[in-house]
Chains A and B, each alone.
Chain A
Amino acid sequence: MADKKRKSSDGAKQLQRREKTPKKFTSKKSNPKSSGKRRGGGSGGGGERRGPRLPSAFRKQLDNLGNPNLYGNSDDDVEDDEVIDSDEGELNYVKDLYEYEEEVAEEESKKNRRFDHVENYEYELPEKFKDEDILSEDDDDLGPGDEDDDSIDKEYDEGRHARMLEDITGIHTQAFADKKRKRRAAVSEAYPESEFNPSCDVLSGNGSISIQDLLDPLRGTPSFSKLRKRIEHVEKKGETVQAPLPKPERERLERGAAYDHTKKDITKWEHLVKRNREAPTLYFDQGNDMGLPTVGTMASEFKPRTDFEKAIASILDNKEISEAYKNDGAKLLELNKISIEEVKDRQNRLAKMRSLLFRHEMKAKHVKKIKSKTYHRLKKKDKLKAASSDLQTDPEVAKDQFHSMTNHWYCVFMVQARMTLRHRNQGKWAKRVLERGLSKQDEGTQAAIAEQLNLHNLLTRKINSMKDGSSSDDSSDEDDEDMYSSDEEGASKLLAKAKEKTIKIMEQEDEVPDSGVLSLPFMVRGLEKRKEAANEEAKRALDDYDLSLNQSAGKGLKEGTSSGRRVFGVPKKKIEEAANVKHRPDVDNYGSDNEDTIEEKDDIDIDLDVLRDDLETVDDSAFKSVIDVAKDSGPRTSHDVSVFTSGSWKQMKSGGKVGSTSNTNVKSVREVVKPSPSNDSEEEVEDDSDTDSGGHMIDGMLTSGKAYELPSNEELIKRAFAGDDVEEEFEKVKDDVLNEENPEPEKPLLLPGWGQWTDVQKKRGLPSWMLEEHATAKQKREAALKKRKDARLKHVIISEKVDKKGEKLYAKTLPYPFASKDVFEQSIRMPIGPEFNPATAAGALTRPEVVKKSGMIINPIKFEEVDPHERVEDQKQRGRKQKSNNKSSAKKSRRSIKT
């Protein structure tokens, strides 16, 4: 191929040379237009159709004229002389066409050379033929076309000349032709030698350039000797350089080498990546500091920008000022005029005040924090006491004060309201209205009723608030009394006090208002009536007190206490007390021991007897709480009961000072009694009663036959014969269950009429396949039964039914990486929550794969030496530090996680 090329170029050169021969032949057609046309035609013939195109007829003609010959020359090296000759002839002809533009022709020639190959083939054949054609044409055109004639003539001349030479010498025409060519080349060289214009020697192959030639110009350069030596070496060895491999093969080899190289480069990452892949957790929480800027850092970076800032900065930075300040900063202060003592004084004063304030504050806080109810109650009581100390000291003064304090009109109104009792909806009218139903009444009536209710509320509230004070006083008294209620004296004192009070009340009630509604005669009468009743009641109470006082004097210590409690001021308080006792869960109840209680048994036995008799008379639904009190001590209850039965309770209440609603008092009394630690007597009594009654009940139970019932006959028989058939029954049940879950195969049966036409079949019995089927079914069943969990346990039936609802709690299939069920199940055996693991270990169990702070910048991975034999676990222990060192590695593994 290379040869070919060379040849073709050779041809082309020849062609050029010929072109540059002196222009003997000038033609009329040598105008630019025609040349342009030709060129266009040539290019068109070459297949690259660019530029203006000639009509095909024209082109054909032109082709016929020149081209075939032109290219015929460079066609093949296997050409005859004739061809060459003709070729030359044609060349001449072509030369005429190109003559005008020599400059372009140089480059053009090359182009032409390029086009040659293609064009040549087309017109190769007709070459000889063309000669004749041309000839014939020439014959035709001889007259008009001079130039054609000339060229042909010349060609003829040469051809003839060659033939003649051949004939004469007997040598082949070629020799002559060569000679001629050589000569011509020597002559026609007109251009500087270059790779584009190789010299004639080169082209002909005679004077080739040797390495020496190339080396010569380099002589004297520093690397010359080296080069020369190498070349000599090469020449000596005479090795031939092998032809380079084909491109794909070469590239393949290159790729392979590159791959090896890269592989080596990449394998160094392997351990790093492996480690990160195997690490249970990757940390990205350290390394680059992403903490928010602190005030300090911000301040350090501050630079004054505005004028104001700059001014301030200049002052701040001023060395003089700062030094002055450092030296005596005190001078800069205005305080320097004040004397040191003064300052000290002031400071001391301030400090004192502050400390005082602080202490006060602390105290207030402390007091506020105190949760003790006792404390607060005592505090409140103190306050009240302080307030009403003068009241206490002198009742007269107190009364005055009270009068002065309260409005006279209000007093009157109150009394009025209380007298009429209108507000309680107890009047005839009110009752009737209520009976009919309030909602049915007209608005006026409703409003009136509402007003009454309102009034009632108002009054009761007022009374309560008034009574509170008094009751708390009472309670305080009681409190005091309770304190020493353990001894007899206290009890008697209580009684005495109660007596006093009743007398006082009686006396007080003697006072009758002189004016107002109360002074009206009928009112006075009514009041008197009431007073009388109250007096009676009071007298009775007094009698009781006396009696009990006497009793207490006679009785022993403990009885005394109980009786002492019995007095307790006024009867209503007992109720409260009782309620209190009932509601209060008493810790010491549980600790009751027989030994403690036995001592007091006898006393209380008597009491209890009395108690029960009395209790029966009482309406328990109404006064349940009273019953409880009654249980505590006999005499007291009897007294209570007598009070209630006499029905004087209401009267007493309405009688004036004592009357009040019970709940307020319950409160106050409770408050008093609860915290008092010396309730021994009371508790003891309670305990006594408890154990005592318990004892009673034990007796009762034993006698009543509640304790143990002899089993009935039926049961005895059942027990005696138990287990006779239990096992059998169970076996039956088990069989049933088994049959249900693994049904027994049906026995093989012949359908009547089937297979029984003859005796033979009857004799044969069932067909063998049937029997076989049955046998296999039976076998299957037995195998299934054997597989059951309860196969060996006679006394157990374990259901094998599948729980459909529970199926969702199982994994449907084995999860992906696991290949065996056992491994999977063993891997989930441990709970990993904080409830089941110690706090130190739970974190590691539930740590996520990647631990990363939000907003953390994750840098790309960096190379780092890793010990390949290190275990993952150790790395983990090395923990964060290592990770932080190469957060980059973590990054890489993160990538791997992603993939």
Chain B
Amino acid sequence: MVVRAEKIVPATEQYDEELDANIKKYLRGESANLEALQDKKLKGQLAVKEELYKRSAKTAANVEKWLLPSEGGFLEPDGIEKTWRIKQEAIGKEVDILSLKNQFDMVLPDLGPYKLDFTPSGRYMAIAGRKGHLGVLDVKNMNLIKEFQVRETVRDVVFLHNELYFAAAQKKYPYIYNIDGVELHCLKVKKSDFSADEHGAVSKLQFLRNHFLLASINKFGQLRYQDVTMGTMIANYRTGLGRTDVMQANPYNGIIALGHSNGSSTMWKPTSPNPIVKMLCHHGPLTALAFHPNGHLMATAGMERKIKLWDLRKFEVLQTMPGHAKSLEFSQRGLLAASTGSFVQVFKETAGSQNYSRYMSHSMAKGYQIQEVSFRPYEDVLGIGHSMGWSSILIPGSGEPNFDSWVANPFETSKQRREKEVRSLLEKLPPESIMLDPKKIGTVKPPKKKDKPTRKEREEEMEAAVEAAKGKKLKNKTKGRNKDGKRAKKKQEIVANAKKQFIGQNMKENEELSKKKRKRIGEGAELPKSLQRFAKKKAD
């Protein structure tokens, strides 16, 4: 008889998959194989460090599991119920009053389709009506802070580093306003200066928060980066791919992606005049583009009725969905909203698989042309800017349920805001830190390809050449020329020839080195004045 007893695991030791996954996430990668290390001291130090990392990751995972105040969740269908059939009204009946407040339509028919932008904390929203209506709202209190009319076309609006400043792309130039509606800057230059330094008629604006860069694409397809702290124009590049208003910054690494009418999208950084990546995404013109907050996923929509999801680590298509999209947007938790006409669709990653599938849908009143969809951070709210004003609908599970006050604080006081401004200015990143893989910063420089071979390499090469020369078999010559002496001589000659070029190189280098040295010495040791007349005069 076999007695089978289940192993009783104490509750604390039970294998917690979720926690483990979180720990892995916070460890940010594997540790190196320390066993293979030769240096014992280093090994010890790294082991200690690794232990600390592990502890930190574990604490973080535990905090995430136990201490965070609220939990995220999605709509969960019962049986054959479909989540996308659930209407906003039905959701409205179930949610609390505070959330209900976020379900509204703002009808402002006169001043054209509206663009929206939220601050990273989700507290403030900037609106820009095409016909010149600009405003800032406190969406938490439902409080209009300021609205004004600029009486010219406004194509885009974007908040700068905090809610106090925002930039609007107007008819001829972008402008920077403060929250009181005071025009602080018009981003143009005087006529006397070169016009290459001004943004021109900007069609889309993006602000890179960590770098304090305002990026714009104008109607001639010129991409510009301006540092808003000092006002210097960091970069000005011609895309050469025509006019576009599809531009999006990758929140992960600050790279700007543009969508073009030839179906390609290009990715730019301020330090290189050519796109770092250019990819053919669609056969038709690109209509919209969005980045997942983790930076690895990109969604593009083309005119040929396709929405594609790209893995940016491999630059491969993950998924292709049918449908138009005039605007795309990823939420903090990875929901993808797409809008076309007066219809909004939200896609969600199905658990387990990497595929996005329909999650919710919402249709506005007929005739409303949706201009932009924008998820409100830290809230389950999707803002929709359309031709008749703007609306806000509830998308359960879209926003991050817990905010991190190091990152963004919806309840920020003015003092905190001031301090954060100073801090963020101090921590401003230089524009060259924008690169495809920001994790590479601080690592060892990759070897240059076209670099001169080092001395050692050259020596090795020379040795190899000499060896080759020595190994070469001499032809048998006619009688009398085939003597040993002659053969030896010939061999020597060959070897000398093989050496010759390398020696020439070496000499050149040595000369240069010595020159440099002399120069350095000459610079370094200035003779006292009394002795200078004895110094050798340079041949001028």
Q: Indicate whether A and B interact.
A: yes
Is B284 located at the chain interface by the 8 A CB criterion?
yes
List of A residues within 8 angstroms of B101 by Cβ: 590-591
Residues of A within 8 A of B28 (CB): 829-831
CA–CA, A701 to B366, complex, Å?
Answer: 11
| A813 contact set on B, CB distance < 8 A | 444
Do residues A872 and B44 form an inter-chain contact, with CB atoms below 8 A? yes
In whole angstroms, what is the CA distance A368 to B143 when docked?
28
- Distance from B32 Cβ to chain A, minimum over Cβ atoms (Å): 4
Is B231 engaged at the interface, CB distance under 8 Å to the other chain? no
| Given A690-B107, A798-B315, CB of A701 within 8 Å of CB of B387 | yes
Q: Could you tell me if B59 and A840 are in contact, using CB atoms closer than 8 angstroms?
A: yes
Give 1 or 0 for each of B439-467: 1 = CB within 8 Å of chain A CB. 11111111011000000000000000000
Q: Chain B contacts of A876 at CB under 8 A?
A: 48
Cross-chain contact B39 with A819 (CB below 8 angstroms): yes
**Could you tell me if B37 and A819 are in contact, using CB atoms closer than 8 angstroms?**
yes
Interchain CB contact under 8 A, A844 and B445: no
Contact, CB under 8 Å: A797 / B52: no
Cβ-defined contact, B387 with A808, below 8 A? no
Q: Which of A769-801 contact B (CB under 8 A)?
A: 784, 790, 793, 795-799, 801
Tell me whether A810 and B274 are in contact (CB under 8 A). no
Interface of B is mostly: loop
A2 interface contact, C-beta 8 A:
no
In the bound assembly, the distance between CA atoms of A805 and B315 in angstroms comes to 25
Chain A minimum-CB-distance residue to B112: A706
Bound complex: CA of A856 vs CA of B30, how far in Å? 41
Chain B residues with CB under 8 A of A338:
none
CB atoms of B48 and A803 under 8 A apart: no
Q: Give the residues in chain B near A809, CB-CB below 8 Å.
A: 432-433, 441-442
A822 at the interface (CB under 8 A from B): yes
Find chain A residues with CB under 8 A from B280 CB: 726-727, 730, 795-796
The answer to whether A841 touches B52, judged by C-beta atoms less than 8 angstroms apart, is yes
Give Cα distance in the complex from A796 to B144, angstroms: 46
B-contact 0/1 string along A732-753, CB 8 Å cutoff:
0100010000000000000000
- Flag if B433 contacts A706 (CB, 8 Å): no
Given A813-B444, A825-B443, the answer on whether A730 and B264 have CB atoms closer than 8 Å is yes
- Inter-subunit contact A280/B388 (CB<8 Å): no
Write out, one digit per residue, whether chain B residues 23-51 have a CB within 8 A of any chain A CB (1) or not (0): 00001111111100111011011101101
Task: Give 1 or 0 for each of A808-832: 1 = CB within 8 Å of chain B CB.
Answer: 1111111001111111111111110
Across-interface contacts of B281 in A (CB, < 8 A): 795
**Which among A697, A726, A793, A841 is the interface contact of B110 at CB below 8 angstroms?**
A697
- B277 is an interface residue with CB less than 8 A from chain A: yes
Asked whether, in the complex, the Cβ of B52 is within 8 Å of the Cβ of A845, the reply is yes
CB of B106 within 8 A of chain A? yes
Asked if B284 and A722 sit within 8 Å, CB to CB, the answer is: yes
Chain A residue numbers with a CB within 8 Å of B277 are 796-799
For residue B502, which residues in chain A have a CB less than 8 angstroms away from its CB?
A: none
Please determine whether A818 and B42 come into contact, CB atoms closer than 8 angstroms.
yes
Is residue B263 contacting chain A, with contact meaning CB distance below 8 A? yes
Q: Is the CB of A811 within 8 A of B442?
A: yes
Given contacts A707-B387, A726-B280, contact A790 B304 (CB under 8 A): no
CB-nearest residue of chain A to B442: A828
B341 at interface by CB-CB < 8 Å: yes
Residue B55 CB within 8 A of the other chain: yes
Smallest CB gap from A813: residue in B: B444
Interface string of A831-854 (1 = CB under 8 A from B): 100010110111011000000000
Residues of A within 8 A of B341 (CB): 708
Whether the pair B279, A706 counts as a contact (CB closer than 8 A) is no
- Provide the bound-state CA to CA distance between A814 and B143, in Å: 55
Q: A residues within 8 A CB of B275?
A: 797, 799
Judged by a CB distance under 8 angstroms, whether A396 is at the interface is no
Which of B38, B41, B46, B449 is A827 in contact with, Cβ under 8 Å?
B46
CA distance A821 to B32 in the complex (A): 10
A244 located at the interface, meaning its Cβ lies under 8 Å from any Cβ of chain B in the complex:
no
Q: Which residue of A is nearest B448, CB measured?
A: A802
Chain A residues closer than 8 Å to B315, beta-carbon distance = 790, 793, 795-796, 798
A698: chain B residues within 8 A (beta carbon): 109, 365, 367, 388
> Which residues of B lie under 8 Å from residue A812 when comparing CB positions?
444-445
Residue of B nearest to A876 (CB): B48
Are B56 and A591 interface neighbours, CB within 8 A?
A: no
Q: Are B283 and A726 in contact (CB under 8 A)?
A: yes
Given contacts A798-B276, A809-B432, contact A694 B442 (CB under 8 A): no
Cα distance A838–B52 in the bound complex, in angstroms: 12
Which chain A residue shows the least CB distance to B404?
A835
Taking a contact as CB atoms closer than 8 A, the residue among B52, B141, B444 that contacts A821 in the complex is B444
Kindly list chain A residues whose C-beta atoms are within 8 Å of the C-beta of B445: 807, 810-812
Q: Which of B55, B276, B432 contacts A841 (CB 8 A)?
A: B55
Q: Is A52 an interface residue (CB 8 A)?
A: no
Q: A585-B144, A798-B276, A826-B31 are in contact. Are A838 and B444 (CB under 8 A)?
A: no
Question: Which of the residues A690, A801, A807, A837 comes within 8 Å of B60, measured between beta carbons?
Answer: A837
**In the complex, B293 has a CB within 8 A of chain A:** no
- CB-CB contacts below 8 Å: B258-277 with A: 262-264, 269, 271-272, 274-277
| Interface members, chain A 701-716 (any B CB < 8 Å) | 701-702, 706-708
Is A205 positioned at the interface, with any CB of B under 8 Å from its CB? no
Question: Are A796 and B278 touching (Cβ within 8 A)?
Answer: yes
Q: B495 at the A/B interface (Cβ < 8 Å)?
A: no
B500 to chain A, nearest CB (A): 18
Chain B residues closer than 8 Å to A797, beta-carbon distance: 275, 277-279
A823 to B34: give the CA distance in the assembly, Å: 8
CA distance A488 to B143 in the complex (A): 32
**Chain A residues, CB < 8 A from B110:** 697
Complexed CA–CA distance, A821 and B49 (Å): 17
Name the CB-closest residue of A to B303. Answer: A719
In the assembled complex, the Cα of A811 lies from the Cα of B440 at a distance in Å of 10
Residue from the set B32, B106, B110, B276 with the largest chain A CB neighbour count within 10 Å: B32
Q: Which of B31, B38, B109, B279 contacts A795 (CB 8 A)?
A: B279
In A356-395, the 8 Å CB interface with B consists of none
A873 at the A/B interface (Cβ < 8 Å)?
Answer: yes
Chain B residues with Cβ below 8 Å from A784 are 449
Min CB distance A577 to B, Å, is 19
Cα distance A591–B392 when bound, in Å?
A: 11
Minimum CB–CB distance for A386 against chain B, Å: 36
Q: What is the chain B residue whose CB lies nearest that of A709?
A: B369
Decide if B53 is an interface residue (CB 8 Å cutoff). Answer: yes
Q: Is B53 in contact with A830, judged by CB distance below 8 angstroms? A: yes
Is B316 interfacial (CB-CB < 8 Å)?
Answer: yes
A587 lies within 8 A of chain B by Cβ: yes
Q: Is A844 a contact of B387 with CB atoms below 8 Å?
A: no
CB-defined contacts of B387 to chain A, threshold 8 Å: 701, 706-707
CB distance from B99 to the nearest CB of A (A): 14
A801 partner residues in chain B, CB cutoff 8 A: 272, 274
Cβ–Cβ < 8 Å partners of A827 in chain B: 32, 46, 49
A884 to chain B, nearest CB (A): 21
Separation of A784 and B455 alpha carbons in the complex (Å): 24
CB distance from B140 to the nearest CB of A (A): 12
Answer yes or no: A602 CB below 8 A from chain B CBs: no
CA distance A718 to B56 in the complex (A): 56
Task: Return the contact of A817 from the options B41, B60, B144, B432 (Cβ within 8 A).
Answer: B41
- Could you tell me the distance between the alpha carbons of A784 and B388 in the complex, rounded to whole angstroms? 55
Q: Which 8 A-B pairs have the closest CB atoms?
A: A723-B283, A697-B109, A841-B56, A585-B144, A810-B445, A722-B284, A694-B107, A826-B32
16 contacts between A and B (CB under 8 A): A592-B104, A690-B107, A701-B387, A723-B263, A726-B263, A726-B264, A796-B315, A798-B315, A805-B432, A810-B442, A817-B42, A827-B32, A837-B56, A841-B52, A844-B55, A844-B56
Chain B positions within 8 Å of A, measured between CB atoms, are 27-34, 37-39, 41-42, 44-46, 48-49, 51-53, 55-56, 59-60, 63, 101, 104, 106-107, 109-110, 141-145, 262-264, 269, 271-272, 274-285, 303-304, 315-316, 341, 365, 367, 369, 387-388, 406, 432-433, 435, 439-446, 448-449
Beyond the given pairs A697-B109, A797-B279, A798-B276, 4 more chain A to chain B contacts, judged by CB atoms under 8 angstroms and listed by A's residue number, are A727-B280, A795-B279, A810-B445, A838-B56
